[in-house]
Amino acid sequence: MADILELNLDMSGPVRIARDVYWVGSERETPLHANPYLIVDGGEAVIIDGGSRLDFPAVMTKILETGVELASIRAIICQHYDPDLCAALPHFEDLLLPGNVQILTSKPNVSFIRHYGVRMDIVETETLNHRYPFSSGRTLQFIPTPYAHSAGSFMTYDLKTGVLFTGDLFGSSGEDWKLFLSLNPQCQGCTRTLSCNLPDCPVDHILSFHRTVMTSNRALRHAVHLIQEIPALIIAPQHGGVLTQSQDIQLITDKLLTLDHVGIDGLKSKNNDVFFGL
Ligand SMILES: [Fe+2]
Ligand SMILES: [Fe+2]
């Protein structure tokens, strides 16, 4: 199985991003890669943001290639309700044991997720006090990030490994996708916001993505302030690259905290055009 430390990463199978935490996405070429993840803990497993219908065959194959038993998958965490992370839910439902697996999401997402036509139990994270305990005692903590970008968006923090699954936050789009993002040393100390001199600067892509996808300066800043409170070792977004280096996490955090023209705050006043698009 591929591992984060490999130089030429083979993404045709699952990729371990931390102990018992796997990326199980599709490597197909697309301007908007989605990153589904699997956490395995002894005889239990949970899927985080399981992906779209397009990616389901690859995602399911990679899940099985981790060696996990289907009966051990207890939950599918949906950090918001968009199709790029929820549309495969009916396919999962066809394969996973009914009554054995539940959807975990926040209350504002529930009525939207029901439109995917799933019959599985949907458990509101609010009723779990925003925590999911495995039988071993390992705990996942859910952190609401309202309007970043949906009313019910939240992040998931794995206290055992320090992986913070950020959903669309820290996400990015573009053809030049890499599963692990390591910033150019030149990015450190750069004071520009967009219009970087580096060709195809990944920081530019991340900032543009947030201006387009997030709802407002205020919603983004609220979410990033919350991220600053979490001692995350790895940032695992639903799009773009996984960040594993503290200086890179710090740089992106600082840039997002001061980013302006986000969402509604980026509308030009006269013709309602947005400044940036995907
Ligand atoms: Fe989204
Ligand atoms: Fe997304």
Closest to 37 in 3D by CA, of 248, 242, 244, 243? 242
What CATH number labels 2-266? 3.60.15.10
Ligand 2 midpoint to CA 136 (Å): 30
Q: What does each of the 278 residues of the chain score in pLDDT, given as a tens digit?
A: 776 656 678 888 999 999 999 999 998 888 899 999 999 999 999 999 999 999 999 999 999 999 999 999 999 999 999 999 999 999 999 998 778 899 999 999 999 999 999 999 999 999 999 999 999 999 999 999 999 999 999 999 999 999 999 999 999 998 888 899 998 887 787 777 666 667 778 899 999 999 999 999 999 999 999 999 999 999 999 999 999 999 999 999 999 999 999 999 998 765 555 554 44
Closest CA to 113 of 24, 50, 36, 25: 50
How many Å lie between the centroid of ligand 1 and the Cα of residue 127?
23
Task: Note the ligand closest to the C-alpha atom of 215.
Answer: 1
Q: Tokens standing for 208?
A: 């543009």
For 213, residues 6+ apart whose C-beta sits below 8 A from its C-beta are 149, 168, 171, 263, 278
- Ligand 2 centroid to residue 224 C-alpha, Å: 17
CB 193 within 8 A of CB 259: yes
Pairing of strands 139-144, 131-133: antiparallel
Pair of tokens at residue 62: 């990679």
CB 106 within 8 A of CB 71: no
| Interval between CA 56 and ligand 1 midpoint (Å) | 18
Domain map (residue ranges) of the chain: 2-266
